[in-house]
Amino acid sequence: MRFDRIEIIRPGDSSGNNMIVRATLSSGRTIYGFATDNLYGGDWDWDLGPTWNYLVTADRPFLVDAGRRGKGRELIGMIESVGFSPRDIDAIVVSHGHEDHDGGILELAGVTQARVKAHEIYGCLVRPLAKSAPSSEKAQFPVSCWCCPMPASFARHNCLEYHEERPQLNIEPMSMNGELGAGIEVLHTPGHSPDAVALLIDGEALLPGDTILPDISPHPSQERFFTVVRPALPGNWKEAQQLFGLRAYIRSLKRIEQLAGASEDILVLSAHRLYYRDRLNLLGLKDRIAELVQHHRDRCSDFARILSTGPKSLKEVAAEHFRPELLKGHGINLAADEVASHCELMEAGGDVVFGEEGKIMSTGTQNFLSLIDGIR
């Protein structure tokens, strides 16, 4: 990988907050990266670092992501500082429907008049659908937030405006190819989020959203979410693993690898941690994908070990596997969700059974290893 293709044109703090970078491709195209600070960063141990939003130059330049809610203005200042006017932005592409990426879109779209483009699933999930909500507490939540692991108190404090704003978006479902201009390929990459997309630019730069990050492995969703949100989905989505869960996530990684083809030299511009702890984090794509797949194999293996001593709840498995500092506060909910994603895959392989009272039981097999290898 060539480090000379990316330069820091405005410094930020040690995590990269407020930093601007510029990547120049051999095709002649320029991509700017703007780091906006992130709720899920900073003061707790599941720190992702700032959100990296990217401006891709083209006949009709477009932005990928808009930071979290309240970051729209800041992003406009950053766009102007590299010589673009907000009106130059033709479209805002949503990498996936998480607040740290789409929270700033309504504000930004208002100023730029840009069109908002996203995978068709995104548009299905941004609105509430009270009659099918899993609980009355979630009746006014957008469908995408029905399965959020955070408690209602967190949502009341952090997400109300977000919930109210997103249904106002005018979203154009994005066809997967050609629509963003010549040289831009769009790949649906569900798993972390059902509406996730990755963009390959001129075969040289990959914008994978949260699907591939340096240092950290993105939180996989769960296949069981499919049944919950299905009333909001078009009928052509028939199977959970087309959109949700660890199997979908691993399949997306393998598809990205396929899309990248033989090229050894892809510049990976991730949506977090592009710069962290005072250094740029540039990835070798194939190596990073292999590491991520191995990480999930290892995690399943450790859960199998923990369950070999007897049935345990998700939280009990989480408490044995994760470092105590990751379990503080809301951390235990995220950790239990992570265990659930892996146990679903192991259940599909016949390695565990979800029993009475939320306990998971090992069957003694380790079919998950060949199951992961066989995902295509």
- Comparing CB distances to Zn ion, the nearer of 144 and 242 is 144
- Comparing CB distances to Zn ion, the nearer of 98 and 342 is 98
- Comparing CB distances to Zn ion, the nearer of 40 and 354 is 40
Residues in the chain: 376
Residues contributing to the site for Zn ion (CB under 5 A): 98, 100, 210
User: Shortest Cβ distance from residue 43 to Zn ion (Å)?
Assistant: 17
Distance from C-alpha of 360 to C-alpha of 341, rounded to nearest angstrom:
13
Distance from C-alpha of 339 to C-alpha of 317, rounded to nearest angstrom:
7
User: Shortest Cβ distance from residue 97 to Zn ion (Å)?
Assistant: 8
Residue whose CB is nearest to Zn ion in the complex, by number: 98
- Comparing CB distances to Zn ion, the nearer of 103 and 349 is 103
The closest alpha carbon to 62, from 5, 128, 146, 118, belongs to: 118
- Comparing CB distances to Zn ion, the nearer of 98 and 296 is 98
Q: What are phi and psi of 200, to 5 degrees?
A: -105, 120
User: Shortest Cβ distance from residue 320 to Zn ion (Å)?
Assistant: 26
Distance from C-alpha of 127 to C-alpha of 296, rounded to nearest angstrom:
32
Distance from C-alpha of 35 to C-alpha of 291, rounded to nearest angstrom:
25
- Comparing CB distances to Zn ion, the nearer of 276 and 368 is 276
- Comparing CB distances to Zn ion, the nearer of 210 and 351 is 210
Q: What is the 3-state secondary structure (H, E, C) of 256-300?
A: HHHHHCCCCCCEECCCECCEECCEECCCCHHHHHHHHHHHHHHHH
How crowded is the C-beta side of 228, counted as CA atoms within 13 Å?
21
191 and 252 in contact (C-beta within 8 Å)? yes
User: Shortest Cβ distance from residue 271 to Zn ion (Å)?
Assistant: 6
User: Shortest Cβ distance from residue 147 to Zn ion (Å)?
Assistant: 13
User: Shortest Cβ distance from residue 245 to Zn ion (Å)?
Assistant: 15
User: Shortest Cβ distance from residue 122 to Zn ion (Å)?
Assistant: 12
- Comparing CB distances to Zn ion, the nearer of 61 and 220 is 220
User: Shortest Cβ distance from residue 181 to Zn ion (Å)?
Assistant: 25
304, amino acid identity: A
- Comparing CB distances to Zn ion, the nearer of 96 and 312 is 96
Q: Residue 18: CB partners within 8 Å, gap ≥ 6?
A: 10, 12, 35, 36, 37, 50
User: Shortest Cβ distance from residue 282 to Zn ion (Å)?
Assistant: 19
Q: Residue 209: CB partners within 8 Å, gap ≥ 6?
A: 64, 65, 95, 96, 101, 189, 192, 196, 197, 198, 270, 271
How crowded is the C-beta side of 214, counted as CA atoms within 13 Å?
23
What does the block give as tokens for 118?
């996203």
Indicate the burial class of 72 (C-beta count within 10 angstroms; 0-12, 13-18, 19 or more): buried
